[in-house]
Structure 1
């Protein structure tokens, strides 16, 4: 009935809870290739735990903190150990993409880190150029990463709630005029 990655995601959430979400988002934040699609795991987790705030909050926090930890590890590895994550086969970001990220950071500065983390497909790219070409401290980088990741995961949360409630149920939360508009 489910796609294999969704079934695997649900099994991980059932067995390990928010820890599974944390690990997958930390790996995604560290630019490591997708073990499981993080978006799929998150939405499946929201569906599995339900839509009550008490149940969803640990999943939300695990995703945001996991992504921030993963990106911070890359930032520190590049800054302190002169690591080149793009030289690893498991990192799906090439030099040409990092050049574009560097130009983005040069133009917009630290807010670009938050903005890039809020956009699927660019998440985490600015960890390497920020560490290489700036005097940004690790805590400031982590704060910008956290803000962008919270926006990204917040959007995923809205999708997860919509899936959990069904499209009509989600429109009903907006008010009766929206629920009857379709």
Structure 2
């Protein structure tokens, strides 16, 4: 199962580059479900572009900005149009999750938005209760979302670099002939 996701992720990155990362993270941020696991796509993108900071930076920026745009879209939809994203079957957040997220926001405020975005599994959940039950402005929400998403994506980048270096080290052990064979594939 992981192999097919990784192959699809690499194909998307090969064809569309950082744009594919942006779209998948925006969809994840907007809570519309997992079209493709964002973590797999990001790590595959880092492995594909290499470990140099200049190569990883556009992928990093696309993921952080995509997640922030998606979460800001949900925030705006709830605040301005009274949309209930949990009524959609694509949104994997139930009422219990929203109640817990709302209590977390009530206790900690905007730092809870940043913290929840840095933790897999809770990313984006605070967009709905924050929009419903607070006077937080959209720019302040977006800033908190951006901080948490940057921490999350930074951790993913470290994993991607470790995987890329691991592949490089393993391929180096194979020798030049094996590398030429793999390159021909």
Task: Please report the TM-score for the alignment, with normalisation by the length of structure 1.
Answer: 0.90
- Offset of residue 168 of structure 1: 9.6
- Offset of residue 53 of structure 1: 1.1
Q: Which has the higher Rg, Structure 1 or Structure 2?
A: 2
- Offset of residue 54 of structure 1: 1.1
Correspondence for 2:30: 30
User: 1:19, 1:46 → 2: CA distance?
Assistant: 14
User: 2:168, 2:20 → 1: CA distance?
Assistant: 30
List structure 1 segments (4+ residues) > 2 angstroms apart after TM superposition.
none
User: 2:73, 2:91 → 1: CA distance?
Assistant: 14
Correspondence for 1:140: 140
Correspondence for 2:14: 14
Tell me the secondary structure at the aligned position of residue 156 of structure 1: helix
CA distances 1:59-103 after superposition (whole Å, capped 9, x unpaired)? 000000000000000000000000000000100101110000000
1:62-141 equivalences under 5 Å are: 62-141=62-141
User: 1:166, 1:10 → 2: CA distance?
Assistant: 17
Tell me the secondary structure at the aligned position of residue 72 of structure 1: helix
- Count of residue pairs the alignment pairs up: 168
- Offset of residue 167 of structure 1: 8.2
CA distances 1:94-144 after superposition (whole Å, capped 9, x unpaired)? 111000000000000010000000000000000000000000000000000
User: 1:52, 1:61 → 2: CA distance?
Assistant: 15
Cα RMSD of the aligned pairs, angstroms, is 1.2
Q: Tell me, which stretches of 5 or more residues in structure 2 are unaligned?
A: 170-185
User: 1:22, 1:140 → 2: CA distance?
Assistant: 21
Correspondence for 2:173: none
User: 1:69, 1:104 → 2: CA distance?
Assistant: 22
